[in-house]
Amino acid sequence: MARDYTINRVPANAPSNIDYEKELNDSQFDAVTAPPGPALVIAGAGSGKTRTLTYRVAYLLDNGINPKNILLLTFTNKAAREMLERVEELVSSNTADLWGGTFHSIGNKILRRHAARLGWETGFSIMDREDQKELMQSVIAESKIDVKETRFPKPDVLGNMFSLAENTSETLDEVVELRYPYFYHLMEQIEGLHVAYEEKKKDTNSMDFDDLLVKTLLLLKENKDICEIYQKQFEFVLVDEYQDTNQVQAEMIDLLGMPQKNVMVVGDDAQSIYSWRGADFRNILEFPDRYEDTKRYVIETNYRSVPEILTFANAAIAPNREQFKKNLAPARPDRDMLPALVPVADVSTQAQFVAQRILELRDEGIELEEIAILYRAHYQSMEIQMELTRRGVPFFITSGLRFFEQAHIKDVASFIKFAANRRDEIAFKRIVKMLPGFGAKTADNLWRSWRGSEGAQAEVIGTFSEYLLDFKVPKKGEKAWEQLAYTLDELISAEGELYPPVAMISSIANGVYDDYMRSKFPNYDNRIQDIRQLERYSEGFEDVAEFLSQLSLLAGQDAVGATQEESDKESVCLSSVHQAKGLEWRVVFVVWLAEGMFPNARVLDEDGEDESGLEEERRLFYVAVTRAKDELYLLYPNMWHGAHNGNVIQRPSRFLEDIPTDLVEEWRVGGNPW
């Protein structure tokens, strides 16, 4: 009969002498000192999630766990560095052997040892997005698909399709049908390219970032001996931001941690906002179902925000049905200032209020870098960018380029520029090179043909097509060239007069440029919203020259608007809510809180009976309001001028209607008659 014998652990170094009870609040202490076994730690916004994970690692080391037997998984290199540095400050143990890093970096580390099992050499190259694009272009060039005959998805778009299929439970067919329906008729060719792309990566001994997850999971599933090595090594698995895991990441965690079940996942279901890039909200909700005897720890003490903001935040997330109920409790004293609910007449007034209030806050001693303006979609920042520019308020943007510097905005402007100035070579070549099969050489030849034509010399022309359609173009691009010519025709009247900018933009967006955007940009929906916003802005101009001048001036305000990397001075932050997650400011303005804007109408239209889309939108709203430490301003315009349907009366967001009126102070905004 066999006898069990247990070896007692002996710490490799002297204990750290951390007084865990003194250093942590009660909820944090319970999680940090949890016994072995599966643990779900729900850490509310601003509750010290990083501190909890850091002390958990220190606690394991203090209790004799060898660093090499700990796996700490994070989503960013910054988070991994921060936690490991804090652990080193806390304990005397040498933590060099601790496996800490992003999912991708851990996958890379495993694949470097065992890639041969999958047919790769261990010295494989890791492709960044640009490398991936070039390899995809090579695959397309080697295929027999005639991408010049039709609008075929560009490499970036194909890469997004393949990535979503790899990281979700959807097949490639489902991804294209649901998310890119305008390419579904090309499904057979897309699937063929996917196969060819996988073969090309193996031929060139290269992997993309998705492979670092997908191939690691495949390696562990298909090689039991290798899997057992890591299962035995990783006695304790800790996961940060678990609510953001996709299916592949969750399977990897389960595969490595399931045998010993010493898996602690930390996250906040109320901040799960990335389903559009493959994150699966069900992972955190169903963790207790997958791991029997899971102990749940809820950390609710918030050290960031004043009580008035926390009470509002708790009310904001309460209507969601699918959630772990929690109630953020303040560690800070009352400030005697409720969140401000600010209905305004229109989007212009919204921008004026934000800009004026920011200047007042600066006079009150709040630095500009402690102020943020958050919105659901990047295009909603346009009027605010313009107003801040007019008032000389410096700002930087985390949600993308300045509105008027984005490629698709400049593309649309090029059509208008050429219609207004038939000698504009740069604008002409830019729009020509958008066409499939038209490169720089073809653009040069066509420019010479245009400059020598009567159309370029005539004082007034009736149509562009009467000249352009006579030019020699690549046979496979004839259809696209014809469409371009007719789109340009729509920019001028029969008498050769320019139509107003709003009519021009509508013709461009609904003509040849729409096909180009669908094939070129992975985020087509966001970009078309930007163009619709530009269309609305253009309604204030009858004169095309004045409109183009304003675009150029607003795009050139380098001293005012900058990206975060460019900004080296005190500046207000403009950000989408998605990119604001994890950040905090003393003062936060959440704008465009109107129904259909936030929550987003498209998400609501696509929502199923489970209201998963609406619930994610509400979580996004929750993330926005919990960024504020001291003051929170919630704005919505009562009137919105649609480009095609005139003035539209807007309802406030349903998220605002869910909030008891005694939790906010309404500000009535009026104009100064003087």
Question: Active-site positions?
Answer: 49-50, 240-241, 271, 627
Q: What are phi and psi of 204, to 5 degrees?
A: -95, 5
Decide if 567 contacts 579 (C-beta within 8 A). Answer: no
The beta-strand segments (E) located in 376-422 are 395-397
How open is the CA angle 51-261-246, to the nearest 5 degrees?
70
Q: What are phi and psi of 563, to 5 degrees?
A: -80, 170
83: its two tokens: 């936690």
What is residue 436's DSSP assignment? Answer: T
Q: Which amino acid is at 340?
A: A
User: How far, in Å, are 76, 404, 442, 449, 519 from residue 579 at the CA level?
Assistant: 13, 20, 40, 47, 25
What is residue 262's DSSP assignment? Answer: -
Is the dihedral angle over the CA atoms 395, 396, 398, 403 positive or is it negative? positive
What is residue 499's DSSP assignment? Answer: P
Decide if 627 contacts 585 (C-beta within 8 A). Answer: yes
Is the dihedral angle over the CA atoms 145, 149, 154, 157 positive or is it negative? negative
CB atoms within 10 A of CB 172: 16
113: its two tokens: 């040892």
73: its two tokens: 């998984």
Find tokens 């895991």 and name the residue: 245
Is the dihedral angle over the CA atoms 536, 540, 542, 546 positive or is it negative? negative
Between CA 360 and CA 363 the distance in angstroms is 5
Helix (H, G, I), strand (E, B) or coil at 73: strand
Among the listed residues 212, 291, 225, the one whose alpha carbon sits nearest the alpha carbon of residue 258: 291
**Residues in Cβ contact with 176 at an 8 Å cutoff, skipping those fewer than 6 apart:** 161, 183, 184, 187, 190
User: How far, in Å, are 351, 389, 510, 564 from residue 572 at the CA level?
Assistant: 14, 12, 35, 10
Among the listed residues 209, 212, 215, the one whose alpha carbon sits nearest the alpha carbon of residue 159: 209
Decide if 109 contacts 188 (C-beta within 8 A). Answer: no
**Residues in Cβ contact with 192 at an 8 Å cutoff, skipping those fewer than 6 apart:** 143, 145
Burial class of 265 by CB neighbour count within 10 A (0 to 12, 13 to 18, 19+): buried
Q: What are phi and psi of 579, to 5 degrees?
A: -85, -5
Among the listed residues 519, 438, 480, the one whose alpha carbon sits nearest the alpha carbon of residue 185: 519
Between CA 599 and CA 654 the distance in angstroms is 8
User: How far, in Å, are 37, 97, 272, 316 from residue 257 at the CA level?
Assistant: 10, 18, 23, 35
Helix (H, G, I), strand (E, B) or coil at 41: strand
Among the listed residues 296, 306, 78, 111, the one whose alpha carbon sits nearest the alpha carbon of residue 214: 111
Q: Which amino acid is at 125?
A: S
Between CA 148 and CA 150 the distance in angstroms is 6
Decide if 530 contacts 411 (C-beta within 8 A). Answer: no
CB atoms within 10 A of CB 283: 25
